[in-house]
Structures are given as structure tokens and as C-alpha cells.
Chains A and B, each alone.
Chain A
Amino acid sequence: MRGALAVYQKEMATYFRSPIAYYVVAVFLLGTGYFFLYNVFLTGETTMAGTLQNMGLLLLTLAPVISMRLFSAEYGAGTAELLLTLPLTPWQIVLGKYLGAVTILLLISAGTVVDLVPLYLFGTPETTTILAGYIGFVLLGMACLAVGELFSVLTHNQIVAALITAAVLLAFWFVGHLQDFQRSDALRGLIGYLSFARHFTDFIQGLVRTEAVAFYLVVSAVALTLSASYLQWRR
């Protein structure tokens, strides 16, 4: 654990000494603020549902920016040669980096809490629904970052890592639309289950379903396991 913790601390130190973390935080908070204003003040509904939905989409474009440098930057700078020859297991490296990325995710989630102030001042929103929405948002983000970490492990080029991650995440987000083209119930079910958006919608509506929680956690676990296995295998 000590090893993973040291990697985590190093990650946090490097995040905030490069402009990327600031860029992600700024774009996310500005974007969320805009959507919030649009959704709440134009419609007059005192819920976070619309805003959370937009936050999910915004996350799909920003998660690759957070995750792209996790390994690609280490390969590029030659520091991978240090990291992979220090007394660290692949899991310690993968987890330490993942926790660093998840910390950024938690930070940007916490930043949007500001939007809740007018909601509670001028209306009576359902706290449990909002809470469920945030749980869903964080779980979605964890899955996105794990997928992003996997593609960063696989390529030396940060831009390539970000583009592939974004493409894959968008595909998983919109895959639900393919349901309408399927006749077989099994296939419809499978496609629906794979959709990042469908599970997220459940959370926004206030439903914390075990199936949805498990889905995001399994996606994260699979992506992280593949990353660690790749590090072991590439030797």
C-alpha cells in the first residue's frame, strides 16, 4: 500500500504543477455552470436532473484529458523506465495513478456543489435524488478514468490515448440507441446493459440499483486489471 500511496502522492504533485488539471477543473465548472443556468432558470424546475445529464456528457470529453497522461507521459519522458524498475508491482502503479485521477474527479464533483445553493434557496429539491445522481456521476467517472488509463498504458502518445478513450467512451454512451434496431430480446438486453448512459439515467432519477453500481465497478475493475496485466506482459 505504501508503494501505491507514494505513486498517488507523486501523481497529485505532478497534476497541479501542469496546466492540465486546472484546464479540466475550469472547463468542467464553467460548462456545468452554463448547463445549470440553462436548465434551471429557463425551465424553472428545481432539480439537478438535466444538469447531471449534461455533466455526464461533459465528463466523457474531459475524462480522456485527465487519463491520457497517466502512462503515455511516463513513456514519453523516459520515467517509465524508473517507475517500472522501482520496487513496485504493476497493481501498485496502476492503482496509485488511478486514485490520483479519481481524486481530480472528486474535486470537480465537489466544485459543482455551488450550483446546489440557489436550488435550495429558491426551491425544495429532493436531496436523495440529487445524492443518487452524484453517486452515479462519480461511478461513471471512475469507469471512464479506468478505461482511459487502459488506453494510456497501451500507447506512448498522449493525444492518441485521449482520442481512442473519447471514441470508446462515446460509443459506450450512445450504444443504447442501437437497441431500437434489434429484434432479438437477448441482444436488446445486452446492448441496453452495455450503455453507460442508461445506467447513469437510473441514478439521475434517484435509483441506486445494485445492477448499475456493479456495472460501473466491473467496467473499472476489468480496465484496471487489463492495465496491470499489460504492464506485466510488456516486460
Chain B
Amino acid sequence: MSSPAAAIVLDAVSKRYGSRTIIRDVSFTVDHGEIVGFLGPNGAGKTTTMRLIAGFTAATSGRVMVAGYDMATDNVEAARRIGYLPERPPLYDALDVSAYLRFVAKVKGVRRAALAAELERVTIACHLEAVTRQEIYKLSKGYRQRLGLAQALLGSPGVLLLDEPTAGLDPAQIQETREVIRGFGRDHAVLLSTHILAEATLICQRVAIIHHGRLIAIDSPSGLQRALAQTNSVSLQVTAPPDDLRAELLSLKGVRAVSMLPPDRDGRLTVECQVEAEHGIEAELARAVAARWDLHRLERQAPTLENVFLHYVADRRDESGSA
């Protein structure tokens, strides 16, 4: 899995604070031109992992490599290649927007001659044109978040670490921000933490799920969904006596469980069948139901990333509960 060209490499990384272990033995890589989503419940270790990669904290054991540099020894050299948006946008309230961006650009080594063009590039990319002269403490939450993102984009770093980049934005801004990230992901490595599953499905090539400090799954969104295909469900709308219908459905091979909502005004039942991932089971269901009653609708539902996430997190909860 680990290729030498990978932009971010975590190799058996753990982080302890005193006796508390925040991250346990986490290994994964992010390649150039790839956007990886980082999912996990609050307190799972997403932010700590981001901080380890950004060099804000050092790993207790294991190795973090960014752009070929070991964060334990060459973190300053690596930092030139990292754009980092922490969970809370790190803004100097007393400065105005352009003074703030100029400071970050200078530290990142943007040349004086290129400074104005670089500031303009990120200002436009993050839609900050209207507030460049404003003091940061006067900015709305959406602008603060976008200024944090603009700061991370300065100097075109090869690696972009974004901790909840769309938090606090309105739907239109979320859309725009995703476009910026998607555009950036084409030729950079992006690691993006989020708890919005739809976001991960939309813009990430791969998704890593972290829980209790452990990496419990990493795959493409569709790969994760496939892995859970055995919990597929089929939903039906039928006009039929509920008890007969339930008995009929349960008698079919491959149907594990049936749940029903009470009939609506037209007497239609909405039925949810948990089925095994066998091919052709929908056709069999349709034949059996349509032979006796009116079948209005039948639909196979692929698991959403939501289900996938809950599945993994719930599994782990059982494990830790029984341990």
C-alpha cells in the first residue's frame, strides 16, 4: 500500500498524552492527486492525526512522512509543502485580511515579486475579494472559515490538510468550497476530515474511518459500500393484508427480516426487507408479491455511507464493550 511517491505516509503511528492513548498504531498513505476523506465520531482522533501530519505535535511512536520528509526530524522542510487548516481557523483578529495573508505568504517563502499575484489567486479562489481590507475580528463565521482555507492554499503546497473545511458555511459556500478542494485535489494530495458523510462520498477518492484512535477501514466510498452489501435492503409498496404479506416474504429464501409501516390512506403498506446479497432476489420478491397482491413499487437500496460508517463504529463499540 505504501508507495515511495506517496505524499503522506503514516507508518504505525501512535500518540499518547500521559497514560491516555489518542492514536493507536495508525497506518495509511495519501498519494498525489488524491483526496482522502477522514471520517470518525467526535473524539475519535481525527484532529490529533491531522496535527501529527501537520507537525503541530510529534508521534509517540511510529513514523509520519510528508512529501518525503520525516516529521520527527525535518518538520520545517516538510512544512514548506503543507497547507494546513486546523479545526478552528487560526486567525489574528487584530490584523486585516490582506495583512494576515501577507504574513503567512512571507513565512511560506512566497517571493516579494510574486506576492501580490499569490494573494490575489487565493483571495479569488476563496471568494474573499469583498473583505480584503477588513479587520479579521469583524468577519462572519463563513468568511473566517474561508480565510483559514485561503491561508492553507498560499504558496501552492503539495499537501493540503483540512480539518472540517466546510464547518460553519452556508449551503452555497459549502458547494463553492468543495469545488475549490476538488480542483486542488487534481494535482495535490488532500486529506480532509469531516463528519458529513455525503461530503466524503462527493469529493473523496478514498475514505478512512477512524474510531477510538484506530483506523478501522480505508477504501473508496463504493468499496466500503460493497463490503457491506450483505446488509442490503429492498423496499416495497404493496396493497395487502399485513400479516399475510409478512408471512409470504419471510417464507422466501434470502429474506432475513421484514419491517412495515402502517398502511397509508390508500391502504398501501411500505415494507422494508433485509435481504442477503444474492443476485436476482428482487425479481423473486416481485414475482411472489405480484402473484397475490398489487405491487406498486420495488426498489433495492444500496447502503449509504451513513450505514457503512455506523456499521463500523457500532461494531467497534460492541468490541470495546465486551473487552
Report the minimum CB–CB distance from A8 to chain B (whole Å). 11
Contact yes or no, B95 A17, CB < 8 A: yes
Contact yes or no, B91 A79, CB < 8 A: yes
Q: Note all chain A residues with C-beta closer than 8 A to B108.
A: 86-87
- With A86-B107, A87-B108 already in contact, the answer to whether A10 and B82 are too (CB < 8 A) is no
Say whether B293 faces chain A, with CB atoms less than 8 Å apart. Answer: no
Considering residues B80, B82, B93, B135, which has the most beta carbons from chain A within 10 angstroms of its beta carbon?
B93
Quick one: which of A1-44 are within 8 Å of B by CB?
2-3, 5-7, 9-10, 13-14, 17-18
Quick one: which of A37-88 are within 8 Å of B by CB?
77-88
- With A78-B86, A78-B90, A81-B90 already in contact, the answer to whether A13 and B106 are too (CB < 8 A) is no
Contact yes or no, B88 A6, CB < 8 A: no
Contact yes or no, A235 B56, CB < 8 A: yes
Say whether A89 faces chain B, with CB atoms less than 8 Å apart. Answer: yes
- The complex places the Cα of A10 from the Cα of B107 at a distance, in Å, of 10
| B56 interface neighbour in A7, A84, A87, Cβ under 8 Å | A84
- The complex places the Cα of A79 from the Cα of B77 at a distance, in Å, of 20
Contact with A along B92-135 (1 / 0, CB 8 A): 11110001000110111100000000000000000000000001
Q: Note all chain B residues with C-beta closer than 8 A to A87.
A: 76-77, 79-80, 107-109
In the complex, the chain A residue whose C-beta lies closest to that of B86 is A81
Q: How large is the interface on B (under 10, 10 to 19, 20 to 34, 35 or more residues)?
A: 20 to 34
In the complex, the chain A residue whose C-beta lies closest to that of B82 is A85
- The complex places the Cα of A7 from the Cα of B102 at a distance, in Å, of 11
Report the minimum CB–CB distance from B316 to chain A (whole Å). 28
Q: Note all chain B residues with C-beta closer than 8 A to A13.
A: 94-95, 99, 103
Q: Note all chain B residues with C-beta closer than 8 A to A2.
A: 106, 109
Contact yes or no, A81 B51, CB < 8 A: yes
Considering residues A7, A18, A88, A235, which has the most beta carbons from chain B within 10 angstroms of its beta carbon?
A235
Report the minimum CB–CB distance from A61 to chain B (whole Å). 24
Q: Note all chain A residues with C-beta closer than 8 A to B82.
A: 85
Q: Note all chain A residues with C-beta closer than 8 A to B309.
A: none
Q: Note all chain B residues with C-beta closer than 8 A to A86.
A: 79, 104, 107-108
Contact yes or no, B79 A77, CB < 8 A: no
Say whether B192 faces chain A, with CB atoms less than 8 Å apart. Answer: no
Say whether B166 faces chain A, with CB atoms less than 8 Å apart. Answer: no
Say whether B58 faces chain A, with CB atoms less than 8 Å apart. Answer: yes
Report the minimum CB–CB distance from A90 to chain B (whole Å). 9
Say whether B184 faces chain A, with CB atoms less than 8 Å apart. Answer: no
Q: Note all chain A residues with C-beta closer than 8 A to B88.
A: 78, 81
Given contacts A3-B107, A87-B76, 8 further A-B contacts (CB under 8 A): A10-B95, A17-B94, A79-B92, A82-B104, A82-B151, A87-B80, A87-B108, A235-B57
Chosen A-B contacts, 9 in total, with CB atoms closer than 8 Å, are A5-B106, A6-B103, A82-B151, A85-B79, A85-B82, A86-B79, A87-B108, A89-B76, A235-B55
In the A-B complex, list the 9 residue pairs whose CB atoms are closest, starting with the nearest: A82-B90, A17-B94, A87-B79, A6-B106, A235-B58, A78-B88, A85-B54, A87-B80, A81-B86
Interface residues of B (CB under 8 A from A): 51, 54-58, 75-77, 79-80, 82, 84, 86, 88-95, 99, 103-104, 106-109, 135, 151
Interface residues of A (CB under 8 A from B): 2-3, 5-7, 9-10, 13-14, 17-18, 77-89, 235
